[in-house]
Structure formats: structure tokens, C-alpha cells
Amino acid sequence: MVYSLLRKHKKLVMKSSSAVIISIIMGVVLLLGTWILGTAYRYKFKSTQTITVNGNAKKDFESDLVKWSATFSRKNYELSAASAQLATDRDLVRDFLVQQGVKADEIRFEAVNIAKDFEYHTDGKGNGYNTFSGYTLSQAVSVESKDLNKVDNASREISTLISKGIELSSSTPNYYYSKLEDLKLELISQASKNAHQRAENIAKESNAGLGNLVKADLGIFQITGQNDNEEYSSGGAFNTASRKKTANITVKASFLSNLWKII
């Protein structure tokens, strides 16, 4: 009888211990599940995205180098006479430029071009034929200088040589900048900083964190006339007609952005 009672008591104790262990396990599972659900309620997931912006930089500058050219010519039935006349004209052109303040070593004369000219005629029967009309000799002169004012003035006044019998055609000056590569590097740096600032503003207003740069594409370098309504070109505008210019460049940049999405 006593033995039977002891066995029953032992079984009850074991059942009680198992119930306690199960309760403890269930409690831990419940607590863990509650924490997970609570966290999931607060944050569904963390999304890694990118912020892509266009950075821009531009700068006004003035050219420091000018190139200008003109062409003069002479025509004569005799080649030697045409050559002598062209030589006289060449001396007049050189003297004029030097008088305008252009240095002798900045003046360059190209090779003489010789062309045989013919005139077309028709006879009484309508047959066409050519007759020799003389030789035309032409020569180009060019000036490259950093003294823009003197060359500008010379290009405007060169027409006075026409009154001396010189057949002359003058082009407009072209303006360049000798430190163009330095300017490009400066603007690329500024455009990159501008892109980063724009991305920071977007991230801040979106309650996101801005990460590292993952991609950057350099836009086309554009040089236009200052205060001109000149359009950009897909291949890059390169204005040489204006003495004062504006340089512009863009940088397209993508940055990583960590954004917690709330349920």
C-alpha cells in the first residue's frame, strides 16, 4: 500500500516538473517572439538604395591668346611680275603689323600658292573653249600673340592696306586660353563637390544616411561666349569667336543611401 502511494507521488512530481519546464520554455519562446514582432513592427527592413544627382560648375574667364590670319593676292600674265608684286605686298603687310605693335617673331607667312587661271568662251557655233588669263599668286599671313589688344586693333585696321592696292581678305580673330587643362580640373573638382552637397541635402530631407560614392560620370566640357545665347553641343561647345568666355561642366554621381522603412 505504501509502495503504491510512493509511486503515485513520484509520478505527480515528474508531471509537475515537466509542466514547469514546458512553461519556462513557452515563456522564453513567447518573450522572444514578442521582441521579434515588436522589432518587426517598428522596422520592416533596412533598404540599401542609391541617390543619383547632377553636380554643376561654371566659371567666367578671359582668353589669353589670340590667333588671326589674312590672305593677300596678285594676278598677272607674267609669273615673275606677279611674284614681284606679291613680295612687295608681303613687305607692306609685315611693316604694317610691326607698326601696330605686333612683334616680328609673332608674324608668320605661309607658302605662296600659285594658280593658273583660264576664261571660258564660246565661238559663233556654240563650241566652248578656254583661254589663259594669267597667274594668281596668294599668300596667307597669321599672327599668334598674347597681346590681345594689339592684334585686335591690327585686325580692324588692316583694311587700310587696300588703299595701297593690296588685294587682301582678313578673317576675324580667334581667342584661346592657354591654361585650359587647369581650368577643367578646377571645374571638375567644384562639380564633384556640388554633386555631394546635393546628395547630402536629399538624404537629410529624406531621413536617410548618405554612403560612399559608387559611380560617377563626367559630362561634356562646354565653352561658350560670355553672356551669349549660345547652345551647348552634344560633342562639347568650344567657342573661339568670343574673347570673354564661360566654361561649364557637369558630373553625374551616385551615392549609397541607407534608409529604414517604417511600417
Q: Does residue 35 sit in helix, strand or coil?
A: helix
> What pLDDT is attached to residue 240?
95
**Alpha carbons 223 and 225: distance in angstroms, whole number:** 7
pTM for this model (two decimals): 0.74
Residue that is written with C-alpha cell 600674265 in the block: 77
Residue that is written with C-alpha cell 590681345 in the block: 148
Burial class (CB in 10 A: 0-12, 13-18, 19+), 213: middle
Question: Grid coordinates standing for 189?
Answer: 573638382
> What pLDDT is attached to residue 221?
94
Print pLDDT tens along the chain (263 aa): 544 544 554 554 455 555 556 666 665 556 665 555 555 444 444 556 889 999 999 999 999 999 999 999 999 999 999 999 999 999 999 999 999 999 999 999 999 999 999 998 888 887 888 898 999 999 999 999 999 999 999 999 998 998 888 999 999 999 999 999 999 999 999 999 999 999 999 988 888 888 899 999 999 999 999 988 888 888 889 999 999 999 999 999 999 987 644 33
Phi, then psi, of 159 in degrees rounded to 5: -65, -15
CA nearest neighbour of 56 among 189, 244, 239? 189
Question: Grid coordinates standing for 70?
Answer: 589674312
